[in-house]
Amino acid sequence: MNHLRFQGLVLTTKPLRYTPAGIAVCEIVLQHQSTVDQATIQRQLSFEIDAVAMGETANWLSSVSVGDTLDIQGFIAPLRQSSTRLVLHIQSFQNGNATPAALV
């Protein structure tokens, strides 16, 4: 099972673009900070991750701003079929800085 629920701060956004097939694509970079328990030790996490959304989710994601906190649901996969670079593929999100209607 490849399912990820994730919270992050929007660091950068790229303009909405379209594939040759006309599918909307939105790319962002998120920063995540948290504390997790690992082997009875608290571990501080702080990292950045590239994320991408497609279709209607991309249209909604293109309206977020740098500094917004997003609750994301999606999966991890290679950026492209032959790539070894992993990215977070956003399937749905909620903007913590907006009204609940931002849930996609």
pLDDT in tens, the chain (104 residues): 999 998 999 999 999 999 999 999 999 999 999 999 999 999 999 999 999 999 999 999 999 999 999 999 999 999 888 889 999 999 999 998 754 444 44
49 within a domain of the structure (yes/no): yes
CATH number at residue 70: 2.40.50.140
46 within a domain of the structure (yes/no): yes
64 within a domain of the structure (yes/no): yes
Q: Which residue has the tokens 């099972």?
A: 1
Distance CA 18, CA 93 (A): 20
103 within a domain of the structure (yes/no): no
For 39, the domain range is 4-98
Number of structural domains in the chain: 1
104 within a domain of the structure (yes/no): no
Nearest alpha carbon to residue 91 among 1, 5, 31: 5
Bridge partners, residue 81, by sequence: none
89 within a domain of the structure (yes/no): yes
Q: Do residues 90 and 74 lie in contact, with contact meaning Cβ atoms separated by under 8 Å?
A: yes
Would you state the pLDDT for residue 98?
59
18 within a domain of the structure (yes/no): yes
SS3 25: strand
DSSP type of residue 35: E
